[in-house]
Amino acid sequence: MALFVLVLGGFIGIVTATGAITAGIERAMLSLKGREKWMIPALMGVFALGGTTYGMAEETLAFYPLLIPIMLTARYDMVTAVAVILLGAGVGVLGSTVNAFATVIASDAAGIPFTEGLVLRLVILVLCWLACVAYVMRYAERVRLDPSRSLVYDRKEEYERHFLAAPSEEGLPEFTGLHKVVLSLFGLTFVVMVWGVLFGGWWMGEMTALFLGAAILIGLIARPGEEQFVDSFLAGVRDLVGVALIIGLARGIVVVMDNGRITDTILHSAELAVSGLSEVIFINVIYWLEVGLSFFVPSSSGLAVLSMPILAPVADFADVGRHLVVTAYQSANGLVNLINPTFAVVMGALAIARVPYERWLRFMWPLLLILTVIIMACLSIATLL
């Protein structure tokens, strides 16, 4: 698993170095100029795609300086600009389908293929994305028609003075044929991974080889040069060394707990605790437990290796599928990380946009209730089915 994460990091590093992801999103922004209303669902869809496939998070910070002037020019406010990027990528992570840093790691720790529960996670992704898009578009249109209804109206002049002074469209990289080929290969790699796990009996070894081969293929097509290729690959690996170490450390803890019969003791206590619970109540208790843990462990991979080795076996006693526990974990973690003050991406985005944290909470709390209802309803129905 640790080797897979490092190779995946190298693959993402190679794709990022080509500039394909950045150029693609920037072209999408420009193509929708003058139709800013439809920029909201289009861009939220693009960012959600990044979130659900590879856990796009820190990478989004680079897009705020580009999107903010466009949104202000279109008579939207700063909260709208932040919501398009932060909520777009965040809801993708919440509904992770093939995200290696959430779904794959958690499924591996739970002892199941990550394709189990894929349909449920796709349903959660679509429903939550639609809810977020409708919520943001409704707020944005209200602000456009009456700027005084903005949650940051008192800072309007400050924002315009600071952000509209800088050019927003000049010097953008051309979206070349090479970028299109790289993005196509990027998406195709994840499709092949899902196919291999579903029909080819693949797991970590085969998936690692797939991403390594895809990185080499993209390198051969982009021709960055041997030195730059190696530097880009190692840069991607370097970003995920911490994740790999967490996985290794967590596995070591699991070995100690197993050999010391600590796991057996915890599972026995958990069996007694859940013996009287119905399946629906059990899965929702797991969901809220993961919500609480997510405030203290915002890292999706860290929370997966911390909680799954214990909570997934407990599901067996409650006669609930382990894939439902994985889905409850990633949905809870993704939801909390939309507002989590210990999550660097949230605070970094608000700092760039100069949006006070309490204003973001005022904007988010009704949406959090809506998303919670959707997630709990999906988990409950899936448990009954």
pLDDT digits (tens, 9 = 90+) for 219-238: 999 888 888 999 999 988 88
Residue 52 lies in a domain: yes
- pLDDT reported for residue 247: 62
Residue 55 lies in a domain: yes
- 201 within some domain: no
Examine residue 233 and state whether it is found in any structural domain, yes or no: no
Q: Specify if 206 maps to a domain.
A: no
Mean pLDDT of the region 336-355: 86
Domain of 30 in residue numbering reads as 20-172+240-384
pLDDT digit string, tens, across residues 179-194: 889 989 988 988 888 7
Which pLDDT tens digit goes with each residue over 72-118? 878 899 999 999 999 999 999 999 998 888 999 999 989 999 889 99
Q: How many CB atoms lie within 10 A of CB 204?
A: 14
- Pure H helices in the chain: 2-17, 20-31, 36-54, 64-73, 78-94, 105-110, 118-145, 156-163, 177-199, 204-222, 226-239, 241-259, 262-274, 279-296, 300-317, 322-336, 344-353, 357-384
In-domain check, residue 210: no
Distances, alpha carbon 182 to alpha carbons 2, 14, 111, 264, 331, in Å: 25, 10, 33, 48, 30
Burial class (CB in 10 A: 0-12, 13-18, 19+), 277: middle
Q: Length of the chain, please?
A: 385
Residues 15-27, mean pLDDT to the nearest whole number: 79
DSSP structure string for 135-183: HHHHHHHHHHH-GGGSTTGGGHHHHHHHHTTS-SSTTPPP--HHHHHHH
Highest mean pLDDT among 167-176, 240-249, 289-298: 289-298
Angle CA 36–337–318, to nearest 5 = 125
Question: pLDDT value at position 168?
Answer: 44
Q: What is the pLDDT of residues 268-326, one digit of tens each?
A: 665 566 666 789 999 999 999 889 888 888 888 888 888 888 888 888 888 899 999 99
For residue 316, what are the CA distances in angstroms to 160, 229, 241? 56, 46, 33
- Residue 69 pLDDT exceeds 90: no
User: Does residue 213 lie within any of the structural domains?
Assistant: no
Number of domains, the chain:
1
Per-residue confidence band for 169, with pLDDT thresholds at 50, 70 and 90: very low
Check residue 230 and give its pLDDT: 92
- What digits encode the pLDDT tens for the residues 111-136? 999 889 999 999 999 999 999 999 99
Mean pLDDT of the chain: 85
- The predicted-structure confidence for 365-379, as pLDDT tens digits, reads as follows 999 999 999 999 999
Q: Report the amino acid identity of residue 211.
A: F
pLDDT of residue 140: 94
What is the per-residue DSSP string for 191-249?
Answer: HHHHHHHHHS---HHHHHHHHHHHHHHHHHHH---HHHHHHHHHHHHHHTHHHHHHHHH
**Whole-angstrom distance, CA of residue 82 vs CA of residue 346:** 10
Alpha carbons 350 and 64: distance in angstroms, whole number: 10
Confidence check: pLDDT of 332 > 80: yes
Report which of 319, 338, 315, 324 is spatially closest to residue 381, judged by C-alpha positions. Answer: 324
Is 5 within a domain?
A: no
Distance from C-alpha of 202 to C-alpha of 208, rounded to nearest angstrom: 10
Q: What pLDDT score does 347 carry?
A: 86
- The mean pLDDT of 24-46, rounded to a whole number, is 77
Examine the pLDDT at 139 and tell me if it is beyond 90: yes
**For residue 86, what are the contacts with CB-CB under 8 A and spacing of at least 6?**
60, 338, 345, 346, 349
Among residues 236, 234, 221, 231, the alpha carbon closest in space to that of 180 is found at 221
* DSSP 8-state assignment for residue 62: G
Q: Specify the DSSP class assigned to residue 58.
A: G
CB atoms within 10 A of CB 167: 9
Q: How far is CA 321 from CA 108, 110, 329, 383, in A?
A: 14, 10, 13, 8
pLDDT the model gives residue 166: 47
Residue 367 near residue 132 (C-beta atoms within 8 A): yes
Task: Reply yes or no on whether the pLDDT at 29 is more than 60.
Answer: yes
- Nearest partner of 83 among 141, 147, 137, 149, judged by Cα: 137
Could you give the percent of the chain with pLDDT greater than 70?
Answer: 88
Average pLDDT over residues 337-353: 86
